[in-house]
Amino acid sequence: MMLPMNRDWARLGRAIKARREQLGMTTQQALADAAGVTRQTVQALEAGRVRSRMPAAMAAIERALQWEPGEASRILTGADEAAERYAEGMPSRVRRELSDGEVVDTEVVDLGVPGSGSRLVVVFKRDSPAADMDPAELQRQVEEWTRIQRAMRDIAAPPEGNSR
């Protein structure tokens, strides 16, 4: 499949990795196995290697990622349909915050309320790419994010002696 000129392979790579991790596939090999492709194919896609054509394996990867057919092409060309679909029902403040900047990490904490399926979802974003930051400032932000993650997990943990 030939693609239009305005394509962002790095964005597609980030989206594939984020979705893989969201689905609990902690390794590239796990996605490769689920899609029936080689790890090298997944590795090249996640690395954002520029290509002139969409890989033949993309349909299988989309299925393994539980994406709609053509989702990779939409991400690659910057179509915002997918983002709009995922943002439906979110407060406008959240949609605004998620619309720009760089997502650095996420945390999903199960709140452990039996039968509720309740969880806390936190997105750590940065206005400028990490590559543009002073290394000391980047280190400080990562340390602060790690502290916040621990605090969230502690808050959500059941009290001592109570298994909920």
What is the pLDDT at residue 85? 63
Which amino acid is present at 66? Q
Residues 59, 110 within the same domain: no
Residues 21, 68 within the same domain: yes
Q: From residue 101, give the alpha-carbon distance in Å to each of 72, 107, 137.
A: 21, 17, 17
Give 75-119 pLDDT, tens digit per residue: 887 755 555 666 677 787 887 777 777 777 888 888 777 667 788
Percent of the chain at pLDDT exceeding 90: 32
What is the pLDDT at residue 59? 94
Residues 68, 107 within the same domain: no
Residues in the chain: 164
CATH of the domain at 27: 1.10.260.40
Burial group, residue 58, by CB count within 10 angstroms (0-12, 13-18, 19+): buried
Q: How confident is the model at residue 40 (pLDDT cuts 50, 70, 90)?
A: very high
Cα Dmax for the chain = 60
Task: Say how many C-beta atoms besides its own lie within 10 A of residue 156's C-beta.
Answer: 15
128, 138 Cβ separation under 8 angstroms: no
Total domains in the fold of the chain: 2
29, 39 Cβ separation under 8 angstroms: yes
Greater confidence (78 vs 21) lies with 21
Residues 77, 116 within the same domain: no
- Report yes or no on 93 lying in a domain: no
Q: How far apart are CA 100 and CA 57, in angstroms?
A: 30
Q: How far apart are CA 36 and CA 53, in angstroms?
A: 20
